[in-house]
Amino acid sequence: MRTSMFRTLTQTAWLVAASALMAMATLPVADSAQAQSSIKILVNDQPITTYDINNRAKFLRLTSRGQAGAKQATDELIEEALKLQEAKRRNVTVSQSEVDRAFASIASRAKLPPSKLEAALRQNGVNPDTLKDRIRAELAWRDVVRARFRATVRITESDVAQAMLGRDDDAETSGTVTEYDVQPVLFIVPKKGKSGIAAQRKREAEAFRSRFRNCDATLEQTRGMAGVFVKPTVRRESGDFPDSLQGSLSKAKVGTALPPTQVDEGFQVLGICNKKAVAGKTQAADEVRDELTNERGQLLARRYLRDLKSDAIIEYR
């Protein structure tokens, strides 16, 4: 349900490849001869050549239908150099196999094998390495940003509730769910038990449920009962319970138990230890939380890159 915290850091690479393939059918084949390359920019002494810029510019013109060019290519390459330098400084590495898998994923979305995608790019005068370099930088930057801001980006329930106020009424009213603290009590049915043992254990589970007092008394109530195991208390949302228990769950009070259900080990009785309504726990709220997390993560990532750029020594030749 939930997406990656900084998922949009790599979305651009996936989308441009798909649009590139759509554009390829209408663009003329570029001259395959490469112009003599020279160093155009130094980013902290890392060179960016005229070939790098020209090749990226061709890629951007291809994927933007002619709307982007040398300036955008230069900006991208400078930022990628900074991202990879910061990744190296923080010992973040991206393997060639990761890059190849991402490239193959792009090809798959375009319904092509990787070799065909490479051929299509080359046919349009674009070295496939420019896309792979871009992928490598984005993957590295994703990991750098995630590690840097994992503990910084925190979305509270009040943040979610506030954001949901701007949504429709249905979304607002669906922003609350009931959480239950339950104590599972297992009535074990041996795998090779005698005929009728399962029915007997189910009757014992039903009898226990009828006299269940509260979670604090469970261990005392089950003391001396053979084949009965009391598990630690767990927390579940209402939607996590099986459909067969939903009717009983809506009427259940703290200090009562739900009807026994069959599980792998035998039969399980769930004692209701506590329940409370919690805002911002539905699918709609999860989507809002994910959006807020992504927005804040992207904001921090942009500031991070801006700071790297302001501290860098960038020399144009």
Tens digits of residue pLDDT in 207-254: 999 999 899 999 999 998 989 999 999 988 887 888 888 888 888 899
User: How many other C-beta atoms are found inside a 10 Å radius of the C-beta of residue 78?
Assistant: 18
Residues with pLDDT less than 50, the chain: 1-17, 19-20, 22-35, 169-173
pLDDT of residue 63: 80
pLDDT of residue 74: 94
Q: What is the CA radius of gyration of the chain?
A: 29
In contact, 62 and 23? CB cutoff 8 Å: yes
d(CA 250, CA 21): 53
Longest dimension (CA), the chain: 88
pLDDT of residue 154: 76
3-class state of residue 30 by DSSP: coil
User: How many other C-beta atoms are found inside a 10 Å radius of the C-beta of residue 224?
Assistant: 7
pLDDT of residue 283: 64
d(CA 294, CA 19): 24
pLDDT of residue 306: 95
pLDDT of residue 129: 93
Cα pseudo-dihedral 141, 295, 279, 268, rounded to 10: -30
d(CA 224, CA 213): 17
In contact, 16 and 132? CB cutoff 8 Å: no
Give kind and range of the element (H or E) at residue 176.
strand 176-188
- Sheet with 314-316: strands ordered across: 46-49, 39-43, 314-316
